[in-house]
Structure 1
Amino acid sequence: MREIVFDTETTGLDPKTGDRMVEIGCIELVNRVPTGATYHAYFNPDRDMPAGAEAVHGLSAAFLSDKPRFREKCDELLAFIADSPLVAHNAGFDFGFLNAELDHCGLEAVCLTRMIDTVALAKRRHPGAKLSLDALCTRYGIDRSHRVKHGALLDAELLAQVYVELTGGRQIGLGLGSTATESTVVEITTAIVRDRPFRPARPHAATPEELARHAAFVDTIKGAIWAA
């Protein structure tokens, strides 16, 4: 199964008030294993960058001024994500900005049925625990020492590791987890048995000669408690 883990950086919190997406990073997973295929792009938002947002992701208006607009890159982005499920942390936020940008281009929104929210997954698995990406990386021993500021591709890479852990751990990629079907187990077991060489059953009863040697040995034991 193909899935896309993605993250966005923006000028603020609400696309309905004029905030725009300025970066997106996508990681391809197949059967919960990263394939190495990624998509990453910066976008010129055609507006200023609030100081608070820049403090989070470090992307200034000057840096973004020569980057393409979203409409110039949306076709290749849509080609990359195709019709795969989309995984994000607090996914409603990222879907909101992605669909707002698509709307600006007059394109159809990504259906929310494709959304997988790792915050919701973490809440079910770890009720009452901290659910931030940093907290989940710490919980699962995922190295985030290189995460000085938020970055869409870096955060997507970290989230992909978190998502694998939230959905059963790295054994999923080997097909050995609880997701294996009964028929799969039967097929594997049958194949193992079929490949074993035939060995005839070995006799387990002692021969008359062995019994005689054992009796002679017992007779040599002095003061045996069973002879009292």
Structure 2
Amino acid sequence: MRQIVLDTETTGINPKQGNRIIEIGCVELFERKLTGNNFHRYINPERDSEEGALAVHGLTTEFLRDKPRFHEVVEELREYIQGAEVIIHNAPFDLGFLNHEFNLLKLPTFDSHINGVIDTLVQAKEMRPGKRNSLDALCEHFGISNAHRKLHGALLDAELLADVYLAMTRGQNSLGMDIVIEESSGGIAMAEIALAEVMVLRASDAEEAAHKDLLDGLDKAVKGTCVWRTSSL
């Protein structure tokens, strides 16, 4: 399955008030693997960013002045996203802006080009009710480094979100088990089992001694042999 992790930066929070997209960043996943086939464009919105938005993304009017307008990049974007499942954090925000931009150009909606949307904010709230579920909070929860994220940037945020999404949805695939089943003359046969390499760390002498002391203490507490010394385990 082809998936696109997408993020945008905008001049403000409401497209109905004339705010526009100024950056689009997309990261491609195929069969849950990063392909490196990314899409990234800065866009001249032909207006200034609101003060609050500028503080978030830092993309000044001067920086964006010589960048292409949305109508100059839309065909590339349409081709890139066509038929993919799109992954967005807080999807209504980005989709609202994208559909607005497409509507201004009298094009079919952004939604009509893709094969569904996954909102990672919705998923995160289901997994972590009552917790902070911003992208930064999820990076911290899943141990994903975002130290280089000083300001919001569409491509950087899409790259971080791809890592977060893969971590959130890993499940039993975390050990890398991939079983391929194929038909044979005798019925269904297991053709291949591929397991990810697992690193085994041996205990040091000091750790083994500490472990023995712990078991000795447990033996003393139960006045016999604790369960952890039984040969059946």
- TM-score range, shorter-chain basis? 0.7 to 0.9
Aligned-pair CA distance for 1:104: 1.1
1:159 maps to 161
Matched AA of 1:35: T
Cα deviation code 1:182-217 (max 9, x no counterpart):
x57x9674557xxxxxxxxxxxxxxxxxxxxxxxxx
Task: Label 1:71 to 1:175 Cα distance change in 2 as closer, same or farther (>3 A).
Answer: farther
Contact 1:31 1:172 in 2 (8 A): no
Q: Hey, what does 1:20 align to over in structure 2?
A: 20
Cross-structure match for 1:140? 142
SS in 1 for 2:36: strand
Q: Is the 8 A contact 1:57 1:151 kept in 2?
A: yes
Q: 1:41 to 1:173 in 2, by over 3 A?
A: farther
Q: Percent identity?
A: 49
Matches within 5 A, 1:51-200: 51-111=51-111, 114-168=116-170, 171=173, 174=176, 176=178, 183=181, 189=190
Aligned AA (2:155): L
Verify the 8 A CA contact 1:43 1:64 in the aligned structure 2.
yes
Per the alignment, do residues 187 and 13 of structure 1 end up closer, same or farther by CA in structure 2, a change over 3 Å counting?
farther
Counterpart residue identity of residue 168, structure 1: R
Structure 1's consecutive aligned runs of 4 or more residues displaced over 3 angstroms after TM superposition are 169-176, 186-192
Distance 1:109-1:190 versus aligned 2 partners, 3 A rule? closer
Alpha carbons of 1:3 and 1:187: their partners in 2 closer, same or farther (altered >3 Å)? farther
1:113-162 CA-partner distances (Å, limit 9, x unpaired): 71110001111112222110000000000010000000000000000000
TM-score (norm 1): 0.76
* Structure 1 contact 33–173 (Cα < 8 Å) conserved: no
**Unaligned stretches of 5+ residues in structure 2:** 194-233
Q: 1:155-176 deviations in whole A, cap 9, x for unaligned?
A: 0000000011111259469454
| Structure 2 CA distance for aligned equivalents of residues 58 and 140 of structure 1 | 27
The TM-score with structure 2 as length reference comes to 0.74
Structure 1: gaps spanning 5 or more residues: 193-228
1:199 aligns with none
Contact 2:99 2:111 in 1 (8 A): no
Aligned equivalents of 1:9, 1:74: Cα separation in 2: 16
The change in CA–CA distance for 1:170 and 1:51 in structure 2 (over 3 A counts) is farther
RMSD of aligned Cα (Å): 2.3
SS at match of 1:122: helix
| Partners of 2:10 and 2:22 within 8 A in 1 | yes
Q: RCO greater where, 1 or 2, for CA within 8 Å and sep 6 or more?
A: 1
Show CA shifts across 1:6-63 (max 9, x none): 0000001110111100000000001111111100001111111222111100100111
Deviations 1:70-103 (A, max 9, x none): 0000000111111101111001100111111111
